[in-house]
Each structure stands twice: as C-alpha cells, then as structure tokens.
C-alpha cells in the first residue's frame, strides 16, 4: 500500500490553522494502517491516542475534539448479494481486516488551507442541480475527498483499483465501482448522493441477413456499435424472441436453427455499470 502512504502524507500536511497540531501530526500514524492487511488490533494500537467507540458491526470510530476517524473492517464472509457495496462485506479477506478509512474534520477545512492540489483528481458533483458539493477521487490510488460549500468535509481511503481482484466473486456492484470511471452508479434525488452517469447508447446493430430459411443451420451474424460518453466498460445484452445468442460482446451470432417459420426480433442494449438505461436497437428477421 505504498501509494496510500504517499497520499496520506500529502493530505495531512494541512496548515496548522485547519485543525491544529492534531491533524498535521496524524499523517505519521494513519499511514501505518494498511488497507486489506492491518487488523483490528493494529488499528487500536496505532490510534491508541484517540477515543474509541465499540467495534460493533465491523466498524469503529476513533476521535478527538478536532476530528473523527471511522475504520471499517471485513466481516470475513463474502456476500452472496450481487448488489452489495458495503466495505465490510465485499472483500475476500479474513474477519477484522481494515477495508476502508474515512476521516471527518469537526469543522470543514477551507480548500485554500488544504495544502494539496485537488486538480489532479477526477471531479464530480455529489447532488443533482448542486454546484457547491463535489467528490474528488482517484481510484487508482484509492483516495477521495468530499467537499461542500464550506470546504473539505470528508477524506476517504479505500483499496486501490489494483486490489479489486480481492473482491468477493459475487459482488458485481462493488466491481462495477472499479470498472466505471465515475464515482456514482446512477442519478438520485437532490437529497442523496448522485451518479450523474452519462448512459451508454446502442447506435447501430447490423445483421448479416434479414431473411433466413427454416433449416437445420440458420445463423445470423450480429454486429453492434455502442458508445459511452465516459468511456465506461460496456456489457452487451441481447434479447431474442426465438432462437439463442451465441457468444458475448459486440459481435455475436443469432442461432435460429430449427425455429419455425415466422417473424422474430432481436434487441441489443449495453450496460455501463448503471444498468441498461440508454438507447436500445431492435431488428427483425423473417424465418421462411
């Protein structure tokens, strides 16, 4: 976790006026906590100078008068819920290993007093129609900053993208976080975090034939062109009214072998991590 240590050093070289000596001196201690490696005992030892809550529910808060540090630990049991994103549930590591750290200053830190350059991070609005609340992040290094109109309100440390192979096999929602470029997965109301996700669209779908003979080997080649404004990783989805799709991705075949004469449809859509919410294309093939 060398990259995490480097970031922590940068983050906590705040001006002393931001939260006093406590925050500026926190770098030397927090950087000792290694995500997906350090245990509950390691954390209690490293943060022994902070008041600690009970470690109920695989999370624990360490605090003083200037800030609070919430540490999330693994539950040790990989979830079977594909929609789960809870940091305690989705990492395939033993129980009570650190999976996330969030630091909340008692008072927001003014951006001009932060002492580091937010322009190096990807910037996204946190709420629909809001212009004064942002999340800055870098998934490659596992670091994010949440701001509001008063300045920095939260620092988040999470396992870097290179560690995503340690996610539980079933946790497709958590894996989607690492594959998409954006922080959020879908748009939500103004009072909730958002994903101003720019959805992916199917532009065209080309078929090798629109009429096939009803025989023992009726195959239609399908080629789909889709675009995503954020260049997210796309998963192609096909629905057919008869026959079956062979293959995956943009180029597949539609097997209509032994299908009775009639008119059948194929619909192509793409998922950019937020579901199939963009434009789909439907074509028709006649089996004679």
Q: How many helices (H) and strands (E) does the chain have?
A: 5, 16
pLDDT score, position 118? 76
Question: Which residues of the chain are modeled with pLDDT < 70?
Answer: 1-28, 112-116, 129-130, 186-198, 274
- String of DSSP letters for 151-168: EEEEEEE---GGGGGGB-
Residues ≥6 apart with Cβ < 8 Å to 277 = 186, 199
Cα atoms in the 13 Å half-sphere on the side-chain side of 119: 2
Q: What is the structure's pLDDT at 113?
A: 66
In angstroms, the CA 99 to CA 96 distance is 9
Contacting residues for 2 by C-beta, under 8 A, at least 6 apart = none
pLDDT attached to residue 14: 40
Write down all domains in the chain, each with its CATH number in brackets: 2-179 (no CATH), 201-287 (2.60.40.10)
CA-to-CA separations, 209 to 239, 240, 254, 257, 286, in angstroms, rounded: 17, 15, 11, 14, 9
Per-residue confidence (pLDDT) for residue 130, from 0 to 100: 67
How many residues are given for the chain? 288
pLDDT for 66: 82
Q: How many CB atoms lie within 10 A of CB 26?
A: 23
Tell which residue, 146, 123, 122, has the closest CA to residue 11: 146
- DSSP bridge pairs for 52: 62
């Amino acid at each position: 976790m060398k990259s995490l240590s480097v970031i922590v050093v940068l983050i906590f070289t705040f001006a002393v006026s931001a939260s006093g000596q406590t925050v500026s001196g926190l770098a030397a201690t927090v950087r000792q906590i290694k995500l997906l490696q350090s245990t509950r005992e390691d954390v209690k030892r490293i943060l022994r100078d902070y008041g600690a809550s009970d470690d109920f529910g695989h999370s624990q808060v360490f605090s003083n008068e200037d800030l609070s540090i919430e540490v999330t630990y693994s539950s040790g049991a990989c979830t079977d819920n594909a929609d789960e994103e809870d940091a305690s549930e989705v990492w395939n590591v033993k129980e009570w290993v650190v999976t996330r750290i969030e630091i909340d200053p008692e008072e927001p830190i003014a951006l001009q007093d932060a002492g580091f350059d937010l322009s190096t991070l990807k910037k996204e609005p946190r709420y629909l129609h809001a212009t004064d609340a942002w999340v800055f992040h870098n998934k490659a290094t596992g670091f994010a900053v949440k701001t509001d109109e008063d300045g920095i309100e939260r620092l988040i440390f999470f396992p870097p993208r290179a560690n995503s192979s340690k996610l539980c096999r079933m946790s497709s929602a958590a894996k989607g976080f690492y594959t998409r470029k954006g922080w959020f997965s879908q748009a939500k109301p103004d009072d909730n975090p958002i994903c101003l996700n720019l959805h992916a669209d199917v532009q065209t779908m080309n078929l090798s034939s629109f009429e096939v003979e009803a025989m023992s080997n009726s195959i239609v080649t399908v080629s789909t062109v889709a675009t995503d404004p954020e260049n997210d990783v796309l998963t192609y989805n096909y629905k057919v009214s008869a026959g079956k799709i062979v293959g995956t991705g943009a180029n597949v075949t539609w097997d209509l072998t032994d299908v009775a004469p009639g008119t059948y449809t194929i619909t192509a859509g793409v998922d950019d991590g937020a579901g199939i919410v963009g434009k789909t294309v439907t074509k028709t093939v006649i089996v004679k």
